[in-house]
Amino acid sequence: MARVAVPTNLRILLARSRSLAFKAKRKGSILLREEARRLRNFTRSELKRFQQEQLAKSLTARHKSGSDSVLFWNRTKRHFRTASSSLRGLISSSGESFKDPQNMANLAADYYEQLFEEPVVVRPHPYVDTTPPILDNHSDPIPLVTYPEILKVLVDRGILPDSQSGFRAGHRLQTRVLLLIEQISSYMSNSAPVATVFVDFKSAFDQLWFEGCLGKLTRMGIPLAFVKWIRVWLEGRRATIDIQGKRSRWFSIRRGGPQGSSFTPTLFIAYHADMEAFIPMAMSFFFADDLAAVVAGQMGIRYTDQCIDLERRLHSFFVHLEYYSALAVQPINYSKTQVMWSARA
């Protein structure tokens, strides 16, 4: 897709702001310098808005039939692999290698059985050991429990957070990314140092705690019939590993949602709907099982003090995030969690 040229009026404004800046520097005029700064900021704002509009248009065009989308995917598909890599062997935790398909299947079964085992939780726990609320309509019969009905209940009760854009109809991921960039730019425009924390949760959908999730949904006011349906949908599952026609033993799955189900991401989002409330010191942007949290230093003070204040807020953020991770039994993947520092030069 061809890059759209910058409009003529913006190019003229950019040239005029540069000319004024050179003129102000040459004459030492404070008024000219202020005028050049005002014009430069206005032009940059207009240019940024133009680029955001073009980005939204290009992303929309790529998923519609037409010459632009055909050209884009024709250029992209050469980077796709025509076949997936074959599995030739596994290495155990002790360093021993296995190439026999049956041994590989058994080793994989041992790994996934441990991954999906029921978590050990210190009791009593607020999600499962407190008295659930009794609703006025708790005894009303629900003739049919379906995914659209459950989704409607979650939406009507305002459980799904607006800061979450992953796997949600009417919430575009690109819009959330643009809002994230806009938030960082807004803090930086006020000369505040900014830290953006990109949090990755370890095997997020596969670590869903059954009892905690069901107990939390009950306390959110989800009708009991829906909670029972979700319990039946989650529990009693088994799996086996097949490698080159050799099968492992069957093992039970006691945590995590079914792979490939459209309801698994929705249930994960509903379970963690209150995560944002646990980290109020940050602006949170959720992308399904990923979190981008923006933390800025206090404004209106010296830059050195701002950095010290930002360090204090980051420490508080990580303390609260780890507390929530332990409470929800949702482990953090520390090796993939990164922090980006941003500041004006």
DSSP 177-227: HHHHHHHHHHHHHTT--EEEEEEEBTTGGGG--HHHHHHHHHHTT--HHHH
165 and 260 co-located in one domain: yes
Residue 3 domain-assigned?
no
Evaluated on CA atoms 154, 158, 161, 164, the torsion sign reads positive
Residue 81 domain-assigned?
no
**What CA–CA distances, in Å, run from 292 to 84, 272, 328?**
31, 14, 18
What confidence score (pLDDT) does residue 135 get? Answer: 60
Helix (H, G, I), strand (E, B) or coil at 303: helix
Residue 177 domain-assigned?
yes
What confidence score (pLDDT) does residue 81 get? Answer: 72
How many separate domains does the chain show?
2
Q: Which domain holds residue 192?
A: 90-342
Residue 84 domain-assigned?
no
Residue with tokens 């607006």: 162
198 and 317 co-located in one domain: yes
54 and 187 co-located in one domain: no
155 and 276 co-located in one domain: yes
113 and 40 co-located in one domain: no
Specify the amino acid at residue 172: R
DSSP state of 143: S
Specify the amino acid at residue 10: L
130 and 222 co-located in one domain: yes
Residue 72 domain-assigned?
no
Residue 1 domain-assigned?
no
151 and 281 co-located in one domain: yes
Band the pLDDT of 226: cuts 50, 70, 90: confident
Residue 174 domain-assigned?
yes
Residue 295 domain-assigned?
yes
200 and 285 co-located in one domain: yes
17 and 103 co-located in one domain: no
List, for residues 152-195, the tens digit of each pLDDT value: 888 888 888 888 887 777 777 788 888 899 999 888 888 889 99
Q: Domain end: 63, 78, 99, which one?
A: 63
What confidence score (pLDDT) does residue 4 get? Answer: 66
Predicted confidence (pLDDT) at residue 143 exceeds the cutoff of 60: no
Band the pLDDT of 334: cuts 50, 70, 90: very high
Band the pLDDT of 33: cuts 50, 70, 90: confident
112 and 26 co-located in one domain: no
Predicted confidence (pLDDT) at residue 253 exceeds the cutoff of 80: yes
224 and 318 co-located in one domain: yes
**Alpha-carbon distance 124 to 128, whole Å?**
8
List, for residues 113-137, the tens digit of each pLDDT value: 999 999 989 888 888 887 766 665 5
**What CA–CA distances, in Å, run from 258 to 106, 115, 116, 272?**
21, 14, 11, 17
54 and 96 co-located in one domain: no
Predicted confidence (pLDDT) at residue 61 exceeds the cutoff of 90: no
